[in-house]
Structure 1
Amino acid sequence: MNGEAPKSLRDALAFIAGYIETPLPPVRMALSAAFGHVLAEDIAASTSLPRFDNAAMDGFAIRSSDIGPDGTAVLRIVQTITAGQIVVPALCPGEAVRITTGAPVPPGADRIVVQEAAEIKGGEVRLRVRDGAKPHIRRVGEDVSRGDTLLEAGSRIGPGQMALLAALGLRSVLVAPRPKVALLSTGDELVDSPGSLAAGQVFDSNRPMLSHMLLAAGAAVTDLGMAHDDPEVILERLVEAAADHDLLISSGGASVGFADHLARVVSRRGFLEFWKLDMRPGKPVGFGDIDDCPILLLPGNPLAAAVGFALLGRAVLARLEGRPLNAGGLRLPVDRPLARSAGRIEVHLGRLRLDSRSRATAVEPLPYGGSASLRHLALADVMIVLEPGEGMIDAGENVDTLPVWQGFPG
């Protein structure tokens, strides 16, 4: 470690931000393959949306000047225009055009009268337009004006972003590549599930949990499996993975004990920049590098591992992708008092619910069953992150929250 190692979460995040100086080099990717990636460029509109005036409803395109003082008009139906039609003749006075939603509005028309307000008799239509009725026309540029900056670098491409980019006609976008993360579980007691257990053995729950948390956060995951508490085996696995990955993550072997080799293993091929933070659960979390590849050391207890990844692992991935650290949290009111510690960050699990009186979203804190508990982790929607402080958090007071399970990538 160089100088004084971080002890608080705030200092650890600041260290990570400085440690990973630049994001991964961007790549240009076909839009069809870019879902879940992070933009590495601002997207400005190359065209207006809509591109042409079009009907917002099925009905009849008319001239408002043809509507009589009583709000009615009897007009001659001259044609039908459907969505996708290329040639659209101009509309003359006394004429009406039957039109479908999304079809181009003919020149001369300035209103669509919905078909429910129309009565057809032969080749004519009688229309009634009530006072204040909408024109039901989507105008050029009503949604997007050419030159507008629509998406900024650092934005994740989700379903809505895909729709917008496709509507602009983009074939490719410049994105951050998915960070390549190698994931390893350590411990003599671990067995892959399903299987049979001997006395003293447990199924490895951390690897499947962390793998899916990584995928949801936008990473490409390599499963390194499990390693026994053998320093040489652990070192060999990690060194091999460090050569072609952007981040290593291990769980287990990070607390104080005779089998906890990871701190010593890291120091043999790199640096352990910090180890143990003032937080509960997840105190025995570490960060450093092996052969210049960053490594995050997470505790073996499942809840502690999940908290460590949510608070630090996502920050590392964000830095690699050029995104703000730990974005996406919300401040929400808790529905019952919570105790906090004066000397450390306290993380509680919570479930979102709708307050019956205010109709606002609130957080119901779940019982703390210890850092090895899985039951409430499976029920939780958010992690409640309480900064150190004196006294209680009162019911109704806003607290910082982070989603337990995040995002759409993967």
Structure 2
Amino acid sequence: MQDIRDAILSGDRTEQTYAALPLPATYRGVTVHKDEVDLFEGLETRDKDPRRSLHVDDVPLPELAPGEALVAVMASAINYNTVWTSIFEPVSTFGFLERYGRTSEYAKRHDLPYHVVGSDLAGVVLRTGPGVRKWKPGEEVVAHCLSVELEDADGHNDTMLDPQQRIWGFETNFGGLAELAIVKTNQLMPKPAHLTWEEAASPGLVNSTAYRQLISRNGAGMKLGDVVLVWGASGGLGSYATQMALAGGATPVCVVSSPDKADICRSLGAELVIDRNAEGYRFWSDPTTQDPREWKRFGARIRELTGGKDPDIVFEHPGRETFGASTYVARKGGTIVTCASTSGYMHEYDNRYLWMNLKRVIGSHFANYREAWEANDLVNRGLIHPTLSKTYAMEEVGQAAYDVHRNLHQGKVGVLTLAPEAGLGVTDQEKRARHLEAINRFRNT
């Protein structure tokens, strides 16, 4: 691994150099173990600690399949799917690997007693499998996390509808929280040259998810002038949704949980911010009963900020805790678009406010390759910026996931894998200088 690291740090990107590098028999990766799936049995979700279940192990390097690339990973990032994996909720990811392993000879590689996790990366291509034309060893890349087979007709209009669609590093093995990773080459995208490795690794999953959810015709299809309610507006997903709303001429109403998070949203350019803890919103009067009076109070607060307008779009991802309020506050004919349920999957809402007011609920899950490519291009062009707040060493990944699990973070949390330190990997310093303030906005928050 040291030879690979040295080659990358040298700046040499010739195909011959990387094609000639010997590959190690093993590499270090962040794993969960199949024999620990009952580790947290009997504990509440909040009390399950990723620091106990995430390990850094030496694992064998798998065979490369046709259409795949082996990438030397310089940095990765924490997403909520890694938290779910680490606490074995809502199900153990080993069920995903077992089912995938039954689909083909190459898929059998994924069904292992350990799961190398992680759905983001920035790094350099080392090898490509048979049949690969577009990508070569030595190219600097980031990866989106859609793994898709495309053998069924359903996937050819929108690859997210493919029956064999999976999220790499969550529903497949050999993920990005590792020194090496295996991806399909149609997951690869160019690394933005003005970003460090850890900055470039951090947008992938959340930026693409927010793009489809908010901008794409497959999601809410946001337009100029829309009022967009963004839950968790300083977090991993919300920070990108807030940037997109502002860049697209919409008006974000940012919902956060602390004054520091409110300040972050204002620094992005958002003017309308609700600190729901400071204003005391309690949408549930007890664990089984919602309080519609709080929905109404929340809706009145939104109208107060917007000059009487209700949200055209509600950018939903907390799930159970907020979904009733989201359905209520969306304008007549408005859209609630949801991509996650970090506070619980069993949503409850008053359907009268949906059907009688002609509102729509849209489910949105990650993004297809085109959407991910467009989202990455926004970063490359400096229209959207990373929201990286803190970077950990790979040995500290349990703490990084714990911080995300307990909502102790802002924006995105990065993890260095092969990169020996933060701040490396920039090849366009002039472009970086033009955007440096925006790139650093979430740091030390």
Shared fold, TM over 0.5:
no
- Compute the TM-score of the two structures, normalised by the length of structure 1: 0.27
More strand, by proportion: 1
Q: Which has the larger radius of gyration?
A: 1
Q: TM-score, normalised by structure 2?
A: 0.26
| Higher helix content, 1 or 2 | 2
